[in-house]
Amino acid sequence: MKKTILIGLLFFGSLSVCQSQEWMTSLDVAKSLAFVQDKLLFVIWEDVSYQEFHVIVKKENGTPEVVNLFENEILNEIIWEHFVPVIISEHNYQALFNEIKGKRSQLYIDKFNDDTIKIMDINGQIINTTLEYYDYLDIAEFIAKYALNTSFLKEELAFYREQQDFNSAYHLASQYADFSVHVNDDVKPEIVKLSNYYLSEAEGFIANDNSVILKQKIELQKIKQALVLGKAKKVLRQLKRIDSAKVDASNEALFAFLNFTAYILLKDETNASIWRSKVSLVNLKKANLIVKNNS
């Protein structure tokens, strides 16, 4: 899909400037539409929409051309094809800021506040928080990077939308970690970071709970995030701190999966074989995909 988007945007040539399709102005409605269409949100602050927002597209011969994001109909159609674009009113700023105050890094807060495009999931979590430096955004590369179909997350997103508690946040975090294995390498770390947002939220739900089992689930899920990024040695160091005899029955499958996959990543078949029989067919397929993507 990434190649298709890039090729499509190469044919801008001398595009005419015309009235673009209007973006959505209700964040809540945009979230619902994105959920139905399995898309991410393409977000800009209202003040920014009143100005020219220059981006780079390339002509058929590869020559870069600067165009106004808000006045190019073909570019607008491409955005609508892959995202749900929404302009957020400045009146919503304080309420949205209160939701993340004290819960996100300064980097995240800076991204929330700036005038650049924000790619959000259907719950309003910003994905593209990585610092990038450019005079004008290469819109083809940007769209290709974040044009993700989120149908893989449908069940967990629906569960979370219905009720936000430990279980829904935990399962969404886990599914986002699995989802990161299916996306391009350039966006994978950001999806893992998104997984961590929900895991932190799940952890918050049990802050006053002394359940060893639930805290163990959180610990193993954090290790899984490192695993999907191919950090096998780090995974094994963290797993060795856990007494296998104290792993709860409900966490044994994940514990075995983490050990097995980490050893496979390191091409240590001797130690991997110890865990192989404890890994389900579904998790074997996950392990193979992780290994393939990190080979």
DSSP annotation of 24 = B
DSSP annotation of 152 = G
Backbone angles phi, psi at 118, to 5 degrees: -115, 130
Give the three-class secondary structure for 138. strand
Backbone angles phi, psi at 133, to 5 degrees: -120, 125
CB atoms within 10 A of CB 228: 25
Backbone angles phi, psi at 23, to 5 degrees: -80, 165
pTM of the model: 0.91
Strands (E), the chain: 40-45, 54-58, 64-68, 83-88, 118-120, 137-138
Q: Is 51 exposed, middle or buried (0-12, 13-18, 19+ CB in 10 A)?
A: exposed
Contacts of 61 (CB under 8 A, 6+ apart): none
Per-residue pLDDT for the chain (295 aa), expressed as one digit of tens each? 554 555 455 444 444 444 457 899 999 999 999 999 999 999 999 999 999 999 999 877 778 899 999 988 889 999 999 999 999 999 999 999 999 999 999 999 999 999 999 999 999 999 999 877 778 899 999 999 999 999 999 999 999 999 999 999 999 999 999 999 999 999 999 999 999 999 999 999 999 888 999 999 999 999 999 999 999 999 999 999 999 999 999 999 999 999 999 999 999 999 999 999 999 999 999 999 999 998 8
pLDDT score for 17: 43
Q: CA-to-CA distance for 212 and 221, rounded, in angstroms?
A: 14
